[in-house]
Structure 1
Amino acid sequence: MRRKLAAGNWKMNGTTDALQEIAALGRAHPEAAAEVLICPPATLIAPAARTAGDGPIGIGGQDCHDEAEGAHTGDISAGMLADAGARAVILGHSERRAAHHERSEDVRAKARAAQAAGLMTIICLGESQLQREATNTLDIIGAQLSLSVPDGSTGENLVVAYEPIWAIGSGMTPTPDQIGEVHDFMRARLERRFGAGVGRSVRLLYGGSVKGENAGEIFAISNVDGALVGGASLTAGAFSPIISALETA
């Protein structure tokens, strides 16, 4: 059985005052049936890990470099994330692919480094509105999946998140059939590449305007094992209903 996962991406939001949200989330879900992960800005990873302690909330990073060390001003290695208390890292988010011109090959190199450092990698895939309207969504997702995921990935070190770019922060959500089509496609591709055992063990998340009101419907869709949540993860009050919906899905 794949353990369901609710991952919160705080993006460039949060200062030390926001750590109280992690503490509140831990109190609200002291024995969460689903895995819960918060990925705050890099400045908060170490204090967030201390706040979370040995409780039910895990801490992750939002990006890492593909090298272990070196002359890379402003960058953070996977080993540094792990040393700060992170146990996972988001890679290939559409905002990184667009604003930082990251290619799928770059994402794969980062994922190799992160997995070597013992981090679980959450690799993001997604199509634009134009690509969706051109009806070649599966071609886009298939190429990103093939090029972004490194060989040797397993159900322990790989999570794949489908985030249609046009749905992120827009309030727009694909239909259940659209989400199911992509998630079933990704599952089949993973099984074909890695074999049925590994392919079926990798968790597939949906991301894009997930909130408490629509979470239950999304989590009922085939091969949706949880969510990668943006704005709604910033407060315990907004994120908790999503976790609860996942626990009962």
Structure 2
Amino acid sequence: MRKTIIAGNWKMNKTNNETIQILNDLKKEIKEIEGISNIGVVIGTPFTALSDAVKTVENSVIKIAAQNVYPKESGAYTGEISPAMLKDIGVEYVILGHSERRDYFKESNSFINEKIKAVLSHNMSPIFCIGEHLEDREAGKVKEVITKQVKEGLANLSADEMKKVIVAYEPIWAIGTGKTATPEIAQETHEQIREVLKEMFGETSKEITIQYGGSMKPNNAKELLSQKDIDGGLIGGASLNAKDFSAIIKAAL
């Protein structure tokens, strides 16, 4: 049975003190899901707050993610953070391939693939983001774009390694815009993603969590999460408020 994972990506938001406060609020809001093994909760904080975040959620259901990593162990890479550094402070997940990294920082599928392998080599779980621009959807190229991202981003991984990877489908036209793919459109694309994963990894594809990202909110979460191939969410703005984020988590119950 696939695990439903609700993850929050805070992007460039929250100071250390704000991080501690919202995580403490969130722990209170979601006490009822403690002990429910098929639901996971992940929060991706800025690098500056990671260490305090890990300490704040200790012994709770919440796990902490970094929002990026550089795929080298150490060296002359000014301003970068290695997987070993993240592992050392207790980070368990790393968000990779987000459209903002692809668009603003020109990250390629092959570079994202390097990062995924580096994260897996330190026994952390990548949250691997994929998604199309509006012009791709309007041109009927969704499956083509998604297939290329999945095949190149997950190249040369074993089926066992894939058991630790979460795939997050985020239609770029729906991120932070208030627009959301209908549950039917989201499910259709998730099904296509799982077909590509089956082609690459066989029956392991049935075990891989595929999240939906792109303006998932308390008022649409239940309908999206009820779809057959949608196994959670990667939440942006709504994860910055403990009550809103907890409502999305509870929609998965």
* TM-score relative to the length of structure 1: 0.96
Q: Work out which of the residue numbers 242, 245, 248 in structure 1 matches 2:248.
A: 242
Distance 2:86 2:9 in 1: 15
Secondary structure at the aligned position of 2:123 is classed as coil
**2:139 aligned partner:** 134
**1:172 aligned partner:** 179
**1:25 aligned partner:** 26
Change in 2 beyond 3 A, CA 1:244/1:155: farther
Secondary structure at the aligned position of 1:195 is classed as helix
Change in 2 beyond 3 A, CA 1:14/1:32: farther
**2:110 aligned partner:** 105
Instruction: Check the 8 A contact 2:29/2:243 in 1, yes or no.
Output: no
Secondary structure at the aligned position of 2:114 is classed as helix
Secondary structure at the aligned position of 1:188 is classed as helix
Q: Work out which of the residue numbers 216, 220, 223 in structure 2 matches 1:210.
A: 216
**2:88 aligned partner:** 83
Change in 2 beyond 3 A, CA 1:174/1:165: same
- Deviations along 1:65-97, whole A, 9 cap, x unmatched? 111111101000111111122100000000000
Matches within 5 A, 1:45-124: 45-124=50-129
Distance 1:187 1:137 in 2: 14
Distance 2:26 2:121 in 1: 30
Distance 1:207 1:121 in 2: 15
Secondary structure at the aligned position of 1:212 is classed as coil
Displaced runs of 4+ in structure 1, greater than 6 A? none
Distance 1:92 1:21 in 2: 26
- Deviations along 1:101-135, whole A, 9 cap, x unmatched? 00011100000000001110000000001111101
**1:200 aligned partner:** 206
Distance 1:89 1:152 in 2: 19
Secondary structure at the aligned position of 2:129 is classed as strand
Change in 2 beyond 3 A, CA 1:48/1:193: same
Secondary structure at the aligned position of 1:68 is classed as coil
Question: How many residues are aligned here?
Answer: 246
Secondary structure at the aligned position of 1:189 is classed as helix
Please give the root-mean-square deviation of Cα atoms over the aligned residues, in Å: 1.1
Cα distance, 1:32 vs. partner? 5.9
Cα distance, 1:17 vs. partner? 2.4
Segments of 5+ residues of structure 2 without an aligned counterpart are none
